[in-house]
Amino acid sequence: MQKVMESRLEEFSNSIVRKVQDLQKTQDATTASQHESELEQKIDDSSEGHRLDFLNLNEKIDQLINHHKLDTAKLREEIKRSTFTGTSHHSNKPTNDAHFHASKTNYMASESVNIKLQKQLVNAITKSDWPELSG
């Protein structure tokens, strides 16, 4: 009889252990699903924040590009004006021949440097055109 009681007690304890394990699995699954849904919510919130940050950044980049285009247009106008005033300023002929040759030599030297600088500036401005980003 004692053996029967021991075997029943062992079966009972095994069934209790299995029920406890099943409850733990169920509780772990419930906790895991809660953590999973919380994690998904945090990811969604973070993604929305990143999307808004990206849109703001894209807007600022577009503003900077537009500002850059305006600045380059202003620089081109200034170059055109300085080129125009430089050629019209030097078109007046001096009356003194010695003075004319000396000033012409100085002018030619400064003009070649000036033209080189202007070409470099125009090339630099032309090459720095930015593509438009669409938002």
Write down the pTM of the prediction.
0.36
Kind and range of the H or E run holding 121: helix 97-127
Q: Show me where the domains of the chain are located.
A: 2-127
Query: pLDDT tens, position by position, for the chain (135 residues)?
Result: 777 778 888 888 888 888 888 888 888 777 777 888 888 888 888 888 888 989 999 999 999 999 999 999 999 999 988 887 765 555 554 455 555 555 655 555 566 667 887 887 777 777 775 556 665
Residue 116 to residue 123: CA distance in whole angstroms:
10
Name the nearest CA neighbour of 57 among 135, 4, 110.
135
Residue 123 to residue 12: CA distance in whole angstroms:
91
Residue 32 to residue 113: CA distance in whole angstroms:
74
Residue 78 to residue 85: CA distance in whole angstroms:
10
